[in-house]
Each structure stands twice: as structure tokens, then as C-alpha cells.
Amino acid sequence: QFDQGGWPIVADDAPAPGPEPRQRPVATAPASGNKPSTAGERGGNGGVAGNRSGARGANAAPLLASGMQAGSPLLEVFQGTRPPGSWRAIGGVVVSWRVTIHGTSGETIGVREVVHTADTTFAERDRLEYTDNRVFGRVGAQVFAERSGMPSPGQIDQAAAELLLFGTQLRCPWLFGDANAFAVVQKDVEDRGGERLHKAVLERRPPVALDLAGPELDPKPRDRFELLYDPGTGMPRELVQRFASSREARRVLLEDWREWEGVQLAHRRVYVDESLRPTTVLEITRIERQRVSERDFRLH
């Protein structure tokens, strides 16, 4: 049951009297310059305890500790890989990816090279360069695509999907350390190949919208991830990704961890099917630091 303002009616809570619906308090930006927040969004330990814009439903269970909050399962992961601050301190990087596509019998049916420029200080600053003269870039929510130096607006959707894919793979697991961007909605234990691994289920939070009040009538799908890791060392073993754009669950094995610039980085990511046969392999063949600015990701 909901009152006239669209808010759920709970015990000891009566609907607002009169014809006017009860108004949600107006959020104001704090003097410190941080992102605006509304009452109920912040819980104990400074973490997000409620639902942003009602995206998870009016009756959803409270979220677990996320990011670097006390009690978050990600703290175990960051003990192995180093914390997000160590990753952000690296700054600009240039990565050469080798992408290998396998057939149903394990045979190689295609190989391509992708040069990936990224700014580790930000979650969404990436540039992808392909051998066929395509270049994709993003700065936050803005996505750019060009081919042979000319804008290619018809490839914006493809560019957004590939930038999200490579950006997520490069920044895993550190991007999950932002509790304002991701929420831990479940933690569990799961058997994988005879090993008992810990699992953290994460969901991307919806963007802050100060003009919304009450639960969403039609919640939009959100990116969802399952991160499985060794409880002894904290090292990630597997990532199950389900992007909102496709809603298809893909299982990725995280292998060949090496220390680089003070963090542990997986140099090999193997997509597998239900029978654990590799379908696509992403390998880092070269990675080095490089000075970058916002203009490097806008293309034109």
C-alpha cells in the first residue's frame, strides 16, 4: 500500500492528511562540495544503507557494507590486490590487448589487437584504437566514435559497449571500491572446481536524481557482477558480468596475476561457456604509464 505521495505505508505510519501529498525533503549540496545526498541514503560507517531513487524496489532488503566500509567483503579482496587508492595513483596508462576468439572445439578463429588508453584516476575515461582505423573514446557519460579521423555517429552504441567492457576489465576489482557507484547486495560462499571461494554480488547504483521522489514504477536494469575470490589471499579468481545493455551473464576467469606499479593486475581474462571451454581470451601484452588529459579521450 502507498500513500498519496507514492511512499509505502508501514506500521505506525499514516498517510499525509488532506489532498496535498507528503513532500520529500529537498536535498541540498553540503558545504564541503561533496555530491548531494538525501536523508536515508547514508547509513552507519558513512555507507549507503537505503535505496537510491527506489531502484531496488520498495521492499528490498537493506544493502550490505560496500566499497571500503567496515564489514565490506571487498576489504578482503583489496588486501590481495592493493586498495583502490593505489590503483588511482597510477594515472594514465596505455595497454595493448590481444583478443583471441575460439570456436566450439577450442580452435582459434580470430585474433585482433586493441590499444587501450585509460586514466585510472577516473572510472570512465577510456580510448580504444583498432587496426581498422576505428577509434572510440568516453569521458563520463559522453561517448565518441570515429573512423579514419571522421566522426562515426552510427557506431556510438557499439563504442559505448566496448568501452564499458574494456574499462571494466582493466579496472577490476578496484572500480567496485566506490560505494557511491556500486552496492554489495549479497555475499556468499560457492564451490568452484573443488575449491570453496567467497563471493560478493555487486550492483551498479542508479545515478543520483534529485527530481525523483518515491520508488520507481519501472526500475531500469542495472549492471550486475559476481566477484569470486580466495578467502585466504583475497585474490580474485572469477568475475561473472551481466551488463544491463545485454542482460547476458558471462563468466570470466581471472588469471596470470602479476605485480605492476604496486598493485596486482590480472594479465589474462578467459571467457568460458557452461562447459568451461574458452570462448574469448583477453591478454595484456604490454602496459606502461603515460601522461594523459581529458582531451585524449574526446577524440575530436
Q: What is the pLDDT of residues 160-175, one digit of tens each?
A: 999 999 999 999 999 9
Average pLDDT, the chain: 84
CA 232 – CA 102 distance, rounded (Å): 33
Between 75 and 5, whose confidence is greater?
Answer: 75
Residue 207: its pLDDT value, please? Answer: 76
- pLDDT at position 125: 98
d(CA 50, CA 244): 22
Contacts of 213 (CB under 8 A, 6+ apart): 5, 6, 23, 24
Does 204 score more than 50 pLDDT?
yes
* Closest by CA position to 243, among listed 202, 284, 298, 185: 202
Asked if 224 and 212 touch (Cβ cutoff 8 Å), the reply is: no
The string of DSSP codes covering 2-14 is B-TTSPBP-TT-P
Contact assessment for residue 287 and residue 90, using Cβ atoms and an 8 Å cutoff:
no
- pLDDT, greater one: 186 or 192: 186
pLDDT of 60 > 80? The answer is no
| Angstrom distance (rounded) from CA 4 to CA 279 | 52
Using DSSP's 3-state secondary structure scheme, residue 256 falls into strand
Q: What is the mean pLDDT of residues 246-252?
A: 90
Q: How far apart are CA 260 and CA 87, in angstroms?
A: 10
Helices H / strands E in the chain, number of each: 3, 13
**Candidate from 1-10, 140-149, 189-198 with smallest mean pLDDT:** 1-10
Is residue 126 pLDDT above 80, yes or no?
Answer: yes
Q: Please check the confidence at residue 128 and state whether its pLDDT lies above 60.
A: yes
Predicted confidence band of residue 266 (pLDDT cuts 50, 70, 90)? very high
Q: 44: Cβ–Cβ under 8 A, 6 or more apart, which residues?
A: none
Q: How confident is the model at residue 194 (pLDDT cuts 50, 70, 90)?
A: confident
For residue 41, the model assigns a pLDDT of 38
**Residue 232 pLDDT > 70, yes or no?**
yes
Q: Where are the alpha helices (DSSP H) in the chain?
A: 74-81, 84-88, 156-171
3-state helix, strand, coil in the chain (%, to 5): 15, 40, 45
- Residue 270 CB coordination number (10 Å): 22
Q: pLDDT tens-digit profile of 72-114?
A: 999 999 999 999 999 999 999 999 999 999 998 889 999 999 9
Residue 76: predicted pLDDT = 96
Of residues 52 and 9, more confidence is placed in: 9
Q: Are strands 182-192 and 108-119 parallel, antiparallel or unpaired?
A: unpaired
Cα distances from 179 to residues 27, 47, 170, 280, 284, in angstroms, run 19, 7, 19, 30, 28
In this structure, the chain runs to a length of 300
Residues 39 and 300: their CA atoms lie apart, in Å, by 41
Question: Which band of pLDDT confidence, cut at 50, 70 and 90, is reported for residue 247?
Answer: confident
CA 180 to chain centre: 11
Q: Which three cell numbers stand for residue 213?
A: 521522489
In this prediction the pTM is 0.77
Residues 141-158: tens digit of each pLDDT: 999 999 999 999 999 999
In the block, residue with C-alpha cell 587508492: 85
Selected residue with higher pLDDT from 233 and 215: 233
Average pLDDT over residues 237-256: 94
Predicted local distance difference test score (pLDDT) of residue 210 = 55
For 175, the grid coordinates are 572500480
Among 47-61, 62-76, 110-124, 180-194, the range scoring the smallest mean pLDDT is 47-61
Greatest mean pLDDT among 42-46, 57-61, 256-260: 256-260
